[in-house]
């Protein structure tokens, strides 16, 4: 990965297996459906809120996007689901992928244009915009492709930017004293799960966690400079962090978790799953 | 499994626009982080839990209490969630200035509640309360203070 230093252009287009992006695409579009229908539904409810609460974001001012209505949120919700289903079949990867991107981004816009913006969805926007650039891709295709490598690299960059730039934002908005502040106490008071409320009795532990998190976020770009084996463990480490966060304050950056998969050889996992599945089937066939 | 053939290369033009797009996105995210705010979404700064909370001040949490049509004399806590009023707590917290200046906007929450939960008793009064949990050295003191920010009654 020293290529990042010697030749950033070649590094950006490091060839990767087509199948890896095909699988990331399947997971992404499947997640879109899950997200729109079950996970992130505040946009849908905004269809029922009075327009007085609508606060257009810059994007909405430029594009003249209206306040939500029940008709608009229903159209976006089901239109996005339909486009994602088509994209999942692998047909029309560019057209369907672009429709998913427009529908999902607009739906998120409606969710965020009422005064509360979530901060975990920037990398997913990048993925939805770039995934269609690969065109046709089959999950068992192991050909190495620069177009596939580019999509993975861009998603990786956006995913790591989420950590690094959030450390930056902490300094900008919270100041350097953020690490010693009671931010996590506040989070646990407001959203702590019953089995994690004990944390409030050990404030020093929450403060130490703030130091650890801040250092990890600041150091997150190192992931591009370490050997492959270490890189995977760093990704597992982040997954562990997000699991603990969810257990403590029921906040999970779901779309971002999907994006972190761009670091892993997911096509190998898929092969192993497929092999196990066919092994399980073979004895049954013999018996028949 | 499809065998790996020769590496599929991109034409120079294909690389140029892709690299350009990445630069554009990078500029957007860096700009959002350094000078932007939430209104820049999707380029808004990644500021989740970025504010500092003083270890010796208070943690504030906003809630609503309502009078229901079936028991109008009594204030009862009501969930402040998208499923009940179309908005969540943080969205109401972000608009406290509007609510203070014009408490009648709370009436729209009663309307949304009626549309979202038509079988529940209607709300004939709403008040917004900020509940402050006091801290000392980062630990809760156990002391809680309530402040009623605004109040609305159906006419």
> Rounded to whole angstroms, how far apart are CA atoms B38 and B46?
9
pLDDT class of A9 with cuts at 50, 70, 90: confident
Entry pTM: 0.89
Check CB contact under 8 Å for B22 and A17: no
Interface test with A, best of B8, B24, B34, B41 (most A CBs within 10 A): B41
If asked whether residues B31 and B96 sit together in one domain, one would say no
In a domain, B82, yes or no: yes
> Rounded to whole angstroms, how far apart are CA atoms A112 and A19?
34
**pLDDT attached to residue A285:** 65
pLDDT class of A288 with cuts at 50, 70, 90: low
If asked whether residues B64 and B132 sit together in one domain, one would say yes
Check CB contact under 8 Å for B135 and A182: yes
If asked whether residues B69 and B39 sit together in one domain, one would say no
Kindly state whether A269 is in contact with chain B, defined as any CB-CB distance less than 8 angstroms: no
Which residues of B are less than 8 Å from A130 in CB distance?
21
Q: Tell me what the pLDDT averaged over chain A comes to.
A: 92
If asked whether residues B44 and B69 sit together in one domain, one would say no
Query: Which segment, A105-109, A251-255, A272-276, is predicted with the most confidence on average?
Result: A105-109
Q: Which residue do the tokens 């084996």 mark?
A: A229
**pLDDT attached to residue A6:** 77
Point out the residue among A46, A143, A183 whose CB comes nearest to the CB of B52: A183
Point out the residue among B4, B8, B59 whose CB comes nearest to the CB of A186: B59
Interface test with B, best of A170, A179, A206 (most B CBs within 10 A): A170
If asked whether residues B20 and B72 sit together in one domain, one would say no
Distance from CA of A67 to the nearest CA of B (A): 13
Is pLDDT above 90 for A106? yes
Kindly state whether B82 is in contact with chain A, defined as any CB-CB distance less than 8 angstroms: yes
In a domain, B134, yes or no: yes
Which residues of A are less than 8 Å from B133 in CB distance?
189
Distance from CA of A104 to the nearest CA of B (A): 12
**In terms of CA atoms, which chain B residue is nearest residue A163?**
B46
Kindly state whether B16 is in contact with chain A, defined as any CB-CB distance less than 8 angstroms: no
If asked whether residues B64 and B128 sit together in one domain, one would say yes
Q: Which two tokens stand for residue A48?
A: 């029922």
If asked whether residues B14 and B65 sit together in one domain, one would say no
Query: Does ipTM top 0.95?
Result: no
> Rounded to whole angstroms, how far apart are CA atoms B42 and A126?
9
Distance from CA of A163 to the nearest CA of B (A): 8
Which residues of B are less than 8 Å from A46 in CB distance?
82, 86-87
> pLDDT (tens digit, 9 = 90+) per residue, A194-204?
888 888 888 88
> pLDDT (tens digit, 9 = 90+) per residue, B62-119?
999 999 999 999 999 999 999 999 999 989 988 999 999 999 999 999 999 999 999 9
pLDDT class of A153 with cuts at 50, 70, 90: very high
Nearest to A80 by CA among A110, A105, A103: A103
**What mean pLDDT comes out for the span A231-250?**
94
Check CB contact under 8 Å for B91 and A53: yes
In a domain, B3, yes or no: no
Is pLDDT above 80 for A1? no
Nearest to A25 by CA among A122, A73, A96, A78: A96
CA distances from A112 to A109, A161, A163, A284 (A): 5, 21, 21, 51
Kindly state whether A151 is in contact with chain B, defined as any CB-CB distance less than 8 angstroms: no
> Rounded to whole angstroms, how far apart are CA atoms A84 and A104?
10
- Check: CB of residue A37 under 8 Å from CB of residue A81: yes
If asked whether residues B105 and B32 sit together in one domain, one would say no
Q: Which of residues 170-229 of A touch B (CB under 8 A)?
A: 170, 172-175, 177-178, 180-187, 189-190, 200-201, 203-204, 206-207
Check CB contact under 8 Å for A173 and B30: no
**pLDDT attached to residue A118:** 84
Q: Which of residues 21-60 of B touch A (CB under 8 A)?
A: 21-22, 25-26, 29-30, 33-34, 38-55, 59
Check CB contact under 8 Å for B52 and A120: no
**pLDDT attached to residue A284:** 64
Which residues of B are less than 8 Å from A13 in CB distance?
10, 15, 18
Count Cβ–Cβ pairs < 8 Å, chain A vs chain B: 216
If asked whether residues B74 and B134 sit together in one domain, one would say yes
Kindly state whether B141 is in contact with chain A, defined as any CB-CB distance less than 8 angstroms: no
Q: Which two tokens stand for residue A168?
A: 């930056």
**pLDDT attached to residue A39:** 92
> Rounded to whole angstroms, how far apart are CA atoms B66 and B48?
30
In a domain, B1, yes or no: no
DSSP sequence for A120-145: S-HHHHHHHHHGGGG-S--TTB--EE
Q: Which two tokens stand for residue A111?
A: 């969710």
**pLDDT attached to residue B40:** 94
Kindly state whether A139 is in contact with chain B, defined as any CB-CB distance less than 8 angstroms: no
Kindly state whether B76 is in contact with chain A, defined as any CB-CB distance less than 8 angstroms: no
If asked whether residues B69 and B133 sit together in one domain, one would say yes
**What mean pLDDT comes out for the span A149-154?**
98
If asked whether residues B86 and B28 sit together in one domain, one would say no
Interface test with A, best of B4, B7, B48 (most A CBs within 10 A): B48
Nearest to A125 by CA among A30, A41, A28: A28
In a domain, B5, yes or no: no
Q: How many residues does the structure list for chain A?
A: 288
If asked whether residues B98 and B65 sit together in one domain, one would say yes
Cα dihedral sign, B101-B107-B110-B111: negative
Is pLDDT above 60 for B1? no
> pLDDT (tens digit, 9 = 90+) per residue, B63-73?
999 999 999 99
Q: How many domains does chain B have?
A: 2
Nearest to A98 by CA among A67, A62, A64, A134: A134
Is pLDDT above 80 for A283? no
> pLDDT (tens digit, 9 = 90+) per residue, B123-133?
999 999 999 99
What's the domain range around B23? 10-50
In a domain, B4, yes or no: no
């Amino acid at each position: 990965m020293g290529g990042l230093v010697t030749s950033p252009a070649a590094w950006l287009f490091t060839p990767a297996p087509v199948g890896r992006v095909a699988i990331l695409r399947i997971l992404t579009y499947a997640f879109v459906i899950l997200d729109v229908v079950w996970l992130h539904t505040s946009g849908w409810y905004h269809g029922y809120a009075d327009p007085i609460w609508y606060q257009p974001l810059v994007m909405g001012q430029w594009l003249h996007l209206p306040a939500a209505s029940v008709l608009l949120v229903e159209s976006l919700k089901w239109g996005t689901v339909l486009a994602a289903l088509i994209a999942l079949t692998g047909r029309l990867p560019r057209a369907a992928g672009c429709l998913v991107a427009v529908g999902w981004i607009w739906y998120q816009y409606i969710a965020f244009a009422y005064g509360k913006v979530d901060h975990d969805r920037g990398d997913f926007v990048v993925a939805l915009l770039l995934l269609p650039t690969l065109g046709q891709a089959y999950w068992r295709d192991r050909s190495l492709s620069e177009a596939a490598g580019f999509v993975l690299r861009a998603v990786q960059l956006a995913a790591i930017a989420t950590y690094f730039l959030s450390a930056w934002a902490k300094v900008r908005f919270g100041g350097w004293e953020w690490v010693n502040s009671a931010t996590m106490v506040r989070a646990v008071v407001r959203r702590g799960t019953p089995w994690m409320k004990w944390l409030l009795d050990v404030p020093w532990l929450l403060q130490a966690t703030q130091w650890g998190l801040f250092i990890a976020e600041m150091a997150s770009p190192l992931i591009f400079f370490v050997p492959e084996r270490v890189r995977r463990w760093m990704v597992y480490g982040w997954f562990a962090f997000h699991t603990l966060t969810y257990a403590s304050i029921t906040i999970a950056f779901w779309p971002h978790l999907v994006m972190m998969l761009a670091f892993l050889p997911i096509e190998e996992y898929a092969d192993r799953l497929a092999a196990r599945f066919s092994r399980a089937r073979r004895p049954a066939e013999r018996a028949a | 499994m499809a065998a790996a053939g020769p590496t599929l290369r991109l034409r120079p033009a294909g690389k140029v626009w892709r690299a350009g797009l990445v630069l554009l996105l990078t500029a957007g995210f860096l700009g959002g982080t350094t000078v932007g705010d939430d209104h820049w979404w999707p380029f808004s700064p990644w500021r989740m839990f970025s504010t500092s909370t003083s270890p010796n001040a208070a943690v504030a949490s906003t809630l609503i209490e309502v009078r229901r049509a079936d028991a109008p004399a009594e204030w009862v806590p009501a969930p402040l969630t998208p499923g009940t009023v179309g908005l969540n707590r943080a969205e109401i917290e972000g608009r406290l200035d509007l609510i203070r200046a014009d408490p009648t906007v709370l009436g729209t929450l009663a309307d949304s509640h009626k549309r979202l939960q038509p079988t529940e008793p209607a709300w004939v009064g709403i008040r917004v309360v900020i509940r402050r949990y006091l801290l000392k050295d980062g630990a809760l003191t156990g002391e809680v203070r309530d402040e009623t920010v605004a109040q609305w009654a159906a006419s």
